[in-house]
Amino acid sequence: MSFSHRDRRTHRVLWRVLGGVGAGTLVLGGLAMFGPDVALGLGALAGLAVLGWVGMVAGEEAVHEYGRDLRSVARGEDSNGFVRAEVHSDVGLDRSVGLPSARSPHVRPSARSPDRVPSAVSSH
């Protein structure tokens, strides 16, 4: 199965939301359990409730945006100032396995990558 840019973008957004909720839960849970003051613990519990609500709303919005985008493309509607293109390769460049947010095997190595041959440096 190939993944489009839209699929990869939504996958990244949802992982970021999940990571943010997880990190916030650890911090606020630690404050609630080990906070020196009862008021701080109660505030941390309220913060956990708000964090859960924000995580659900952000995830739901990302999924709704993804669905809206798919439906608008299927209907052939213009998008607001953006041109979206889905490209399918007939020469087998589509990746058929792996998570949508995994690095594509077709990405060129960066200049800092050890895979790249260093350019010749002229000595004076």
Q: 26-46, pLDDT tens digit by residue?
A: 999 999 999 888 999 999 999
Question: What is the phi/psi pair of residue 86, to 5°?
Answer: -110, 125
Do the domain assignments include residue 45?
yes
Do the domain assignments include residue 113?
no
Q: How far apart are CA 55 and CA 25, in angstroms?
A: 11
Local structure of 87: helix, strand or coil: coil
Do the domain assignments include residue 80?
no
Do the domain assignments include residue 78?
no
Measured in whole angstroms, the distance separating CA 72 from the mean position of its chain's CA atoms is 22
Q: Answer whether residue 20 shows pLDDT above 60.
A: yes
Do the domain assignments include residue 50?
yes
Q: How confident is the model at residue 109 (pLDDT cuts 50, 70, 90)?
A: confident
Q: How far apart are CA 58 and CA 37, in angstroms?
A: 31
Kindly state the percentage of the chain with pLDDT values over 90.
Answer: 36
Q: Which two tokens stand for residue 110?
A: 């960066």
Please give the residue that has the higher pLDDT: either 111 or 81. 111
Q: What is residue 110's predicted lDDT score, i.e. its pLDDT?
A: 72
Do the domain assignments include residue 124?
no
Supply the range of the domain harboring residue 20: 5-73
Domain tally for the chain?
Answer: 1
Do the domain assignments include residue 115?
no
User: What is the Cα Rg of the chain in Å?
Assistant: 22
Do the domain assignments include residue 116?
no
Q: What is residue 43's predicted lDDT score, i.e. its pLDDT?
A: 94
